[in-house]
Every structure is written in structure tokens, then in C-alpha cells.
Amino acid sequence: MDVPHKIDIDQFRYNLEDVRIAKYPLDHRDQSKLLFYDRGRISQHSFSGLTGIIPENAMLVFNNTRVIQARLKFRKETGAGIEIFCLEPHDPAEYQKAFTATGSCSWKCLVGNMRKWKSGPLLLSSVVNGHEIILEAVVGERSRENMTIHFHWNSEVVTFGEIIETAGSTPIPPYLKRESEEIDRERYQTIYKRDPGSVAAPTAGLHFTEEVIRQIREQGIRTAEITLHVGAGTFVPVKEDDARDHPMHAEQVSVPLEFLKQWAGHPGGLIAVGTTTTRSLESLYWLGVKLTEGLNMVHSKLDLRQWENEQLPQGVSLSESLDALIKYCRAQELDHVQFSTRLMIVPGYKFRSVNGLITNFHLPGSTLLLLIAALIGEDWKKVYDYALEHQFRFLSYGDSSLLLPAGN
């Protein structure tokens, strides 16, 4: 294999003024602008008219993750505020078990104003489903990226999921430069949210309404759902001059066996709703490649490491990959494929699963913008110039785009 070329992150920056960042959502989700990039041609639409430009025989794939109220704000007796940002469960490590835990559990967290937390537990009082709850937080193990926080509370009835849903606040992105508000509890979620676990929204899905979904169904456009729990790493900028030196964060994915079978029999292409869905679908392909190679992967440790895809055989077809995944599920008696991925999609990457992408407009020099550049090449500059010139709103609460690369 050829030695990977350096990716100069400065080539993926553009001037984004603060005024172009949407600080709040529009009153109506589907009234956002929609930029349509169709193999080099650009046009402007309203998101409410999405179904009119979806390619024939396309299947839309959604990420049904649910954003959790991950920010817990404690206050010491001295008055110092300390925020604990729950990233992912540690003990129990499975999301469902962590959210249904009673009495105690542990999470990997970020802690704001840690220097003020010298020792001892922090306490947070709240009323959850009529129960007066005292949540205690104790510092555990530390790593470079985060620390483990042990939570204890005075109830064997109230679950941790109920506590953070009541006492926590919405983890809106730091670039909004404001505190979360009540509107964010609803609008920083997709209308098809299901499985809790994300600390950032799959923002491409924020534009969908019941009406748009109804139109999709009426036109016979196929749909499917997967789950990728979006981590805080999605906001980490690429600080290295060479983007290939950026350590990509891991995210947890769950994909139903029924979807794999549906995908294997689908005659058209897939349009991913969001970069998280794109990452999931492309990771699935490479996991299937690993299985065709007979690599020993235990279900509980199924994963794709950063750049591992570059070391795998490049000639495996999508149908062969999907067949291997389906056989694996049947052999293991699984109804879902669950795995962790550190796949980083950068310019030069060849897409194996995704034929189009619905997505918002991303930060300069981010891994998400690198993914866009991988999909449509140098035309990403043309797309972003058009969006800036035509007053599109940027980032999480901003406007949308449908990108169809050449060759699809």
C-alpha cells in the first residue's frame, strides 16, 4: 500500500464569523434552507421540499440516538460551582444498564472547575418522580482524557437515567456561547430519537418533522435506523498540522440485523442522515471485511481502530461484507451488531457504503469537514462559499445540505 499523504489541516479552514453561527433553532424545523449539491451543481431549496430531490431508489438511514441531559451542576458549600459532564458509562458499561441502575453507578466524565474540588464528595439535591434525591459524586480513577466519577444516591427505586433527565441540563455545543435553555431540551433532539446515550445531537436530523417523514413514507422512500452515540470528541478540533496525527475518538454503535438484511436486498444506494450515520455505515463495511478475513472478533470487543481500514484488503465487495456480517450475527445468535469505531474519514478515502449525505455546515478544520471533503473533493470549498454568500446559517442549529458526489 502507498504511504498515506500528509493532510495539511490549514487547507480545510475557512472564515466563519460568529454572526453566521445559529445560536438558536428556527421556529419550525423544516423551514431551514437546504443546499443541494448534485454532482457539481448547486441549487437552493427549503428542507420541507427534501423529498422532491431524493434520488430514485434511495434509502435514508437515520441515527436514532437520544441526547442525554449530561451536564450535572453541583455547588460546594463555599459557593464554588462544579460541573460534571457525563460522557459514557463505566460501571455498568452498557448504556441501558447504566440508565436503569439504582443506588449507584460510575461514569467517565469531564469536570469543570476541578481545581475547586479538593477532596470529599459533591452533593446535588433534586426531586425525581416525587422522591427527594441526594446525588453524591466521588472522584475515581483519572486518565488523560477524562476521569471516572462514582455516583451514589438514596433510592433503590429512582434510576440514574431519571435523575439526569430531571437534574441535568442539555449539553449544547460550546461554540453556541450560551447556557442551555428549556427550548434546547426539545429542539436539540431529533423527533425520531430513541436510544439514550449521546452527549451531542446528530444535527442533520434536527430538520426533520412529522410532515417531512409523512411525505417520505407516502413517496415510498425506504428508511432504516441505526444507533451511534455521539461523543464529546466530535467537538475536539484538529490541532495537529497533519490531520493524520489527530487521535480520533471512539464512539459506540448498534445496528439491527434486520437492517443488514434489508440493506443487502436493497437495489439502490444509501443516503446517510448525518456524519454519524456515515461513520457507522462505513465502519460496518470494514467490520465485514475483517470477518471475511477470518479475524477472531469476540462480540463484546468488536471494534475498528483508527486507520485499521487502510491495512485491510481493499477489494472486498459490499455484498460480501454484508453477507459476512449477517452470517456472524446468526452464528452468534445476535439481533444487533454492537461495536466501537475510531474510523477517521479524510480526503482520499473511498466510500463503500454511502451514496449521499444529508448534513449541516461544519466548523473549519474539523474532522467533520474532512469527511465532507472526502465525499465531494475540492468542491467542498464551492459548497461552503455558496452557503456563506447566500446567508446560510451554520453549525448545529443551522441550515442543511444534501450532497450527492459524482459517481453515484
Apex 186 CA angle, 361 and 188, nearest 5: 25
With cell 443516503, the residue in question is 271
Q: What percent of the chain has pLDDT over 70?
A: 98
Q: Are residues 81 and 57 in the same domain?
A: no
Per-residue confidence (pLDDT) for residue 115, from 0 to 100: 84
- Average pLDDT along the chain: 93
Domain extent at residue 133 = 70-168
In whole angstroms, give the CA distance from residue 117 to residue 97. 29
Residue 35: closest CA among 194, 241, 204, 222: 204
pLDDT at residue 2 tops 80: no
In whole angstroms, give the CA distance from residue 341 to residue 344. 9
Q: Residue 299 — pLDDT band, cuts 50, 70, 90?
A: low
Per-residue confidence (pLDDT) for residue 297, from 0 to 100: 62
Q: Are residues 333 and 246 in the same domain?
A: yes
Q: Are residues 246 and 328 in the same domain?
A: yes
Mean pLDDT of 332-344: 94
- What pLDDT digit, counting tens, does each position of 148-186 carry? 999 999 999 999 999 999 999 999 999 999 999 999 999
Exposed / middle / buried, residue 344 (Cβ in 10 Å: 0-12, 13-18, 19+): buried
Per-residue confidence (pLDDT) for residue 296, from 0 to 100: 57
Q: Are residues 376 and 230 in the same domain?
A: yes
Per-residue confidence (pLDDT) for residue 48, from 0 to 100: 97
Final residue belonging to a domain, choices 142, 168, 194? 168
Residue 150 lies in a domain: yes
Q: Are residues 61 and 79 in the same domain?
A: no
- What pLDDT digit, counting tens, does each position of 302-314 carry? 899 999 999 999 9
pLDDT at residue 3 tops 70: no
Contact 397, 24 (CB under 8 A): yes
Q: Residue 84 — pLDDT band, cuts 50, 70, 90?
A: very high
pLDDT at residue 261 tops 80: yes
Q: Are residues 29 and 133 in the same domain?
A: no
Per-residue confidence (pLDDT) for residue 114, from 0 to 100: 86
Q: Are residues 306 and 190 in the same domain?
A: yes
- What pLDDT digit, counting tens, does each position of 27-49 carry? 999 999 999 999 999 999 999 99
pLDDT at residue 145 tops 90: no
Residue 178 lies in a domain: no
Final residue belonging to a domain, choices 168, 198, 221? 168
With cell 483519572, the residue in question is 142
Which residue intervals of 83-235 are DSSP H helices? 95-99, 160-167, 182-187, 210-218
pLDDT at residue 345 tops 90: yes
What are the strands, taking DSSP E only, across 306-365? 336-341, 354-359
Return the minimum-mean-pLDDT range out of 72-76, 138-142, 282-286, 404-408. Answer: 404-408
Residue 1 lies in a domain: no
Q: And the C-alpha cell for 141? A: 480513577
Q: Are residues 61 and 159 in the same domain?
A: no
Mean pLDDT of 332-339: 93
Residue 136: strand, helix, or coil: strand
pLDDT at residue 107 tops 50: yes
Residue 354: closest CA among 55, 29, 51, 32: 55
CATH code of the domain containing 352: 3.40.1780.10
Q: Are residues 278 and 140 in the same domain?
A: no
Residue 216: strand, helix, or coil: helix
Residue 387: which region, alpha, beta or left (left: phi > 0; alpha: psi -120 to 50)?
alpha
Phi, psi of 33 (to 5 degrees): -70, 150
Residue 144 lies in a domain: yes
pLDDT at residue 402 tops 90: yes
Final residue belonging to a domain, choices 133, 168, 203? 168
Contact 83, 214 (CB under 8 A): no
Apex 333 CA angle, 332 and 338, nearest 5: 70
CB count within 10 Å of CB 15 equals 8
- What pLDDT digit, counting tens, does each position of 211-245 carry? 999 999 999 999 999 999 998 888 888 999 999 99
Q: Number of folded domains in the chain?
A: 2
Q: Are residues 256 and 281 in the same domain?
A: yes
Q: Are residues 340 and 321 in the same domain?
A: yes
In whole angstroms, give the CA distance from residue 134 to residue 80. 18
Residue 206: closest CA among 86, 345, 66, 354: 66
Contact 223, 311 (CB under 8 A): no
Residue 2 lies in a domain: no
Mean pLDDT of 91-116: 93
Per the model's pLDDT, the better-predicted residue between 368 and 117 turns out to be 368
Q: How do the residues of the chain divide into helix, strand and coil, expressed in percent and rounded to 5?
A: 30, 30, 40
Residue 176 lies in a domain: no
Q: Are residues 297 and 336 in the same domain?
A: yes
